[in-house]
Structure 1
Amino acid sequence: MKALAGLFTAMVLSASAVWAGPQYIDGTGYAVSGYDVVAYRDLTAAPIGTPQPNGVEGHTSITADYNGATWAFSTEENRDKFLANPGYYAPQFDGHCAYGVAQGGKVPGNPNLWRIVDDKLYLNITKVVVGFWEEDIPGNIKKANENWPGIKDDPASTNVIPNFTSTAPVKE
């Protein structure tokens, strides 16, 4: 039974790796601009059409490596949760804007413009784009999932996130 469970886990992790491409990393040098991706699960999501609460900044002393990037966390417990199942916590489309991927391209995702849909974390680039995204979230997710296989191996975006300055991760 344990062997079967191990095989199943390996298959799931392998399937997750198929969907991974180059991770978006901004000038902080960290995935998701140094924000704690596990902490989104504890934030209270705002209704569609209203701004989400800001993400939680990680710390330089609490990190993990995944998908070719360093990720920062606000607590060791969150880092450990991430390491146990990184594909669950990492944002979709390697941290690129979900609406951008739905439109066929890779642009950065802003860690403060997020939404969890069907237990998956999605980021968007600007507040205006969030409006377009929210007009048809299921349709945009469908388009993005259709487009992703054709662009996932393209280089990660090198653009900066408009109207966003990160102080994360918190240096200790």
Structure 2
Amino acid sequence: MRNFITFIFFSISTTFFAQQYDYYTKNGFAADGFDVVSYFVSKKPSEGKNEYQTVHNGTKFKFSSAKNLALFIKDPEAYIPQYGGYCAYAVAEKKIKMYVDPEAYEIRDGKLYLFYSSWLSDKLKTWQEEDTKKLQQKGDKNWADIKYKSE
């Protein structure tokens, strides 16, 4: 009986800890190393500096100033990009995690959305031209299914 209880405990805890929230990272940092607070405070993205870093949910974030780092530490959920920083349009329309251009973004309803952008395709523009509320609803639903890292 004791072995059975131990087995159940380890099975549940392994499953719980294996489901780690997934953030889009490049070079080891969320949002390509851009300061996620700067989108709100400066109204434009700024690259983070190595001296201002923190780890949240197992992911490293960089900031352009000590002030922005402090704001993030106080309330990280206010600044973290939607859908883990993956392309909002790709999550909503394709239910996939796609990398982003951190300078292609929108703040809508107090939330930060990042998008894929290249000379061939501008997903921010596509997002804005379509029914954004419907895309947000689809994105929220799809993200609930794909937000954890698959190991």
**Cα deviation, residue 22, structure 1:** 1.1
**Please, what TM-score do these two structures have when normalized by structure 1?**
0.69
In structure 1, the residue matched to 2:142 is 147
User: Does the 8 Å CA contact 1:39/1:56 hold for their aligned counterparts?
Assistant: yes
In structure 2, the residue matched to 1:41 is 40
In 2: Cα distance, 1:101 partner to 1:154 partner: 14
User: Does the 8 Å CA contact 1:23/1:67 hold for their aligned counterparts?
Assistant: no
In structure 2, the residue matched to 1:159 is none
Relative contact order higher in (CA < 8 Å, ≥ 6 apart)? 1
In 2: Cα distance, 1:128 partner to 1:120 partner: 20
| Unmatched 5+ stretches in structure 2 | 1-19
Alignment of structure 1 residues 1-172 onto 2, 5 Å: 21-26=21-26, 28-44=27-43, 53=44, 55-103=45-93, 104-126=95-117, 128-135=122-129, 136-155=131-150
Report the aligned-residue RMSD: 1.7
Task: For residue 114 of structure 1, give the secondary structure of its aligned residue in structure 2.
Answer: strand
| Unmatched 5+ stretches in structure 1 | 1-19, 45-52, 157-172
In 2: Cα distance, 1:63 partner to 1:143 partner: 32
Between structure 1 and structure 2, the one with the greater Rg is 2
Amino acid at match of 2:123: V
In 2: Cα distance, 1:155 partner to 1:112 partner: 27
Of Structure 1 and Structure 2, the greater helix share is in: 2
Task: For residue 150 of structure 1, give the secondary structure of its aligned residue in structure 2.
Answer: helix
**Cα deviation, residue 152, structure 1:** 1.1
In 2: Cα distance, 1:138 partner to 1:105 partner: 19
In 1: Cα distance, 2:105 partner to 2:69 partner: 20
In 2: Cα distance, 1:80 partner to 1:100 partner: 31
**Please, what TM-score do these two structures have when normalized by structure 2?**
0.78
Number of residue equivalences = 127
**Cα deviation, residue 67, structure 1:** 2.0
